[in-house]
Structure 1
Amino acid sequence: MEVELISVTPDAERLIERAARTCYDTTDKMSSSDTPTFLKKLFRAGHLSVFEHASATFRIGGISRACSHQLVRHRLASYSQRSQRHVAETRPSYVVPPRVEQADQVVLDTFENAMEASWSSYAELIRRGVPKEDARYVLPNACTTELVMSANFREWLHILKERLASDAQWEIREMCRLIYESLREIAPSVFGLIDPGSLKNR
């Protein structure tokens, strides 16, 4: 799994503060304000629209299609995903769930045999002239994918709170952990407002 931050709003925390202070006509206090404290007050008061002025874009690779299907349910984010309709899957690549990987050899062999059969069928269909957009129907949910995802900070806060919860599916939870670590490093006053360790079942 690869998570790479490729773009973020410059000076995002100050931008959010500037937007909020416009609402209250207190922009004259910008130079002397304590930005982290101010953002915390906004968050606790539920004044979240101002967090939408900042955004971040990630390249995400090596996740399964099962994971990306969950991810794109977050409709307020924007996605550009590697196409199986236009791009041939020439290199078999798939995600093995930890509980399969750590199970007995029969379980692992069963899983890997299923993957091999899918890829072999796909290759044969392509060889016989079946269009990629039709041949892809035999590919598994475990097939890896790559995408670019953009969202504003308010939506990132929502996504992370949902997907870092203890009952979230393991793969998207791990992906969001990496995103959270990256965002917290560049905007600690925003993403420090949520604590993954305290996010229990939703």
Structure 2
Amino acid sequence: MKQFRVDLIAATPKPQLCVYLGMHQDYSDFFVADNRQIWPDDKKAGEICIRRLLAGERGHYGPMEHAQIVFNVGWFPHSVMQQARTHRVGVSFDVQSMRYTGDRICQAAEGNLDIEEVFYLRPIGNYINRQGKKYTYSLKQRNEDIKLCQLAVKRYCELINSGFSEEHARSILPFDYRQHFILSFTLRALLHFLDLRSKRDAQLEIRELCKLIWPHIESWVPEFASWYKKKRLHRALLAP
């Protein structure tokens, strides 16, 4: 999992102030932009939002949609993208396509790229399936799986070189080829995503994605992050 990566691309400046102003306009007679001289700083705005929007599980999450953040996510398996897009999380995705990005497959077939740069296999160790059954993924089993991946990339290149289209050739590849993608969240959608995917029984790899996203949240919206960590993180409480 050491290859997994999350980089920040862009984020709303003063995000907690943006949430505060959205909330404040809801119940203010005046036009809030005309009163910039009395706007709180971002930290104070975050503290006010926690008290008025979130404390006591009031669930008034609407103003949190005014703050947005964009990540570049890399080297995660395809299964993470499949899980990330379910449950109407309100996230925008742009995903590396296996229709246009097959050159790396042939590089792996030619030995110019490590096979594990292209495919993801879980680390060796002990695991539990969804029914609670324990099992072991051994080094021997993992090496056999690597051999299967190597056979698949060679076959892929044979098909491409004989004139097959990429979308046809990709059908013989192992399911968990690695993909890079862009994720765009509102603050509301981001916390809802964590509600779903950082819980203890979520897929191992998507929990790793949440772990890599979390430091960015703490830097971007520290007051919201502090409240969320105390009240909701890993508890599978779904956002309204």
* Closer, same or farther: CA 100–94 of 1 in aligned 2, 3 Å: farther
- The TM-score with structure 1 as length reference comes to 0.90
Whole-angstrom CA distance in 1 between matches of 2:188 and 2:78: 25
Give the superposed CA RMSD. 2.4
> What are the equivalent positions in structure 2 for 1:89-108 lying under 5 Å apart?
89-92=105-108, 93-99=118-124, 103-108=137-142
- The TM-score with structure 2 as length reference comes to 0.76
Does residue 116 of structure 1 match 2:150? Answer: yes
Q: Is the 8 A contact 1:161 1:194 kept in 2?
A: no
**Gap regions ≥5 residues in structure 1:** none
Quote the residue 1:82 is aligned against.
Answer: 96
Quote the residue 2:111 is aligned against.
Answer: none
* Closer, same or farther: CA 175–91 of 1 in aligned 2, 3 Å: farther
Q: Compare 114-123 and 69-78 and name the one that shifted more.
A: 69-78
Q: Is the 8 A contact 1:167 1:201 kept in 2?
A: no
Quote the residue 1:35 is aligned against.
Answer: 45
Bigger Rg over Cα: 2
Q: Compare 84-93 and 113-122 and name the one that shifted more.
A: 84-93
Q: Is the 8 A contact 2:66 2:186 kept in 1?
A: yes
Equivalent in 105, 119, 135 of residue 169 of structure 2: 135
**Gap regions ≥5 residues in structure 2:** 109-117, 127-135
Q: Is the 8 A contact 2:72 2:183 kept in 1?
A: yes
Does residue 195 of structure 1 match 2:234? Answer: no
SS in 2 for 1:147: strand
- Displacement of 1:200: 4.0
- Displacement of 1:176: 1.0
Quote the residue 1:174 is aligned against.
Answer: 208
Whole-angstrom CA distance in 2 between matches of 1:120 and 1:146: 22
Aligned amino acid, residue 219 of structure 2? E
Does residue 63 of structure 1 match 2:62? Answer: no
SS in 1 for 2:181: strand
- Displacement of 1:198: 5.1
Quote the residue 2:60 is aligned against.
Answer: 47
- Displacement of 1:71: 1.3
SS in 1 for 2:228: coil
Q: Is the 8 A contact 1:57 1:150 kept in 2?
A: yes
- Displacement of 1:111: 1.3
Q: Is the 8 A contact 1:100 1:107 kept in 2?
A: no
Q: Is the 8 A contact 1:65 1:145 kept in 2?
A: yes
Whole-angstrom CA distance in 2 between matches of 1:13 and 1:31: 10
Q: Compare 111-120 and 127-136 and name the one that shifted more.
A: 111-120
User: CA offsets per residue over residues 1-55 of structure 1, 9 Å max, x none?
Assistant: 1100100001111010011011121856644893233221202321100000010
Aligned amino acid, residue 121 of structure 2? V
Q: Is the 8 A contact 1:77 1:155 kept in 2?
A: yes
User: What number of residue pairs does the alignment pair up?
Assistant: 202
Whole-angstrom CA distance in 2 between matches of 1:24 and 1:34: 18
- Displacement of 1:75: 4.7
Q: Is the 8 A contact 2:9 2:71 kept in 1?
A: yes
- Displacement of 1:91: 3.5
- Percent identity over the alignment is 23
